[in-house]
Amino acid sequence: MNRTYVSNKVEFNVIGQVNSPYKEKFAIPRQPGLVSSAKGSITLTGDANDPELVRELAQFSHIWVLFVFHGTQEQGWKPLVRPPRLGGNKKIGVLASRSTFRPNPIGMSVVKLDAIDIKDQQVILHISGIDLLDKTPIIDIKPYVPYSDSIPHANAGFAQTQPSSDLKVTFNEHAQIALAKHSNNHPDLALFIEQVLAQDPRPAYKKGKDDDKVYGMNLYDLNIQWKMQGLSSIEVIGITSAVSKL
């Protein structure tokens, strides 16, 4: 049974909302920075939408973003989880993981701060390298401070190194025509798709096995269709308008 908490509540105010090309959980990288071309923004909201809150923030190249896992929050949490890094079989304590199903559904990501835009009293932070679902509620933003936040020789157990992302990604003729068609709106689309697919978004148990399934993933307003070619290549076979799931 999944657990929830009913007492000892602490309340936070949402200070902003994410605008992300990732419209669904499938294919979002498992940590920030793995897909550097994933660009999005944070729109500050309510009382936090005030240029004073971000005064001098632009001198930092990276920020910590604290957010709510709103997409999975309702599913509650369990004390043990199965991290994809361990093949999805071994159970470990939720607090030894970066699972979204935590006692408090709080996520934290270091992202690149590309620019801060203030227009008509609206503060927008442009960020990249994100692993955030569209419309993610933000509860805090802090500067990333390398001298304290980076510990290069720290032990990270089963997650010591970045997962390998050596899948080769190709685009068939249909996909290439579609890329050209969308290049005005999305100039870096090919690179973005390549980086996302190189991470192998399939469930862990599919890795290293024959797979003839056609997969679909939504990025921006587009649906990208792709399939495996052998064990180490992915072919993108179609890029069409995403059908709204609402």
Shortest Cβ 129–ligand SAH spacing (Å):
11
Q: Which distant-in-sequence residues (6+ apart) come within 8 Å of 42 by Cβ?
A: 16, 17, 18, 19, 65, 124, 125, 127, 138, 141
If one asks whether residue 21 binds ligand SAH (CB under 6 A), the answer comes out as no
Residue 41 binds ligand SAH, judged by CB under 6 A: no
Phi, psi of 189 (to 5 degrees): -60, -45
By CB under 6 A, what part of segment 91-150 binds ligand SAH? 98, 100, 107-109, 131-133, 136
What 3-state DSSP class applies to 59? helix
Exactly one of 31, 43, 45, 176 binds ligand SAH (CB under 6 A); that residue is 31
Q: How many residues lie near ligand SAH (CB under 6 A)?
A: 18
If one asks whether residue 32 binds ligand SAH (CB under 6 A), the answer comes out as yes
Beta strands in 176-244 (DSSP E): 214-219, 222-229, 233-241
Regarding 195 and contact with ligand SAH (CB under 6 A), the answer is no
- Residue closer to ligand SAH by CB (options 121, 148) is 148
Query: Per rule CB under 6 A, is residue 85 in the interface with ligand SAH?
Result: no
Please report which helix (H) or strand (E) contains residue 179, including its range.
helix 173-181
Residue 75: phi and psi, rounded to 5, are -80, 0
Residues near ligand SAH (CB under 6 A) are: 25, 28, 30-32, 69-72, 98, 100, 107-109, 131-133, 136
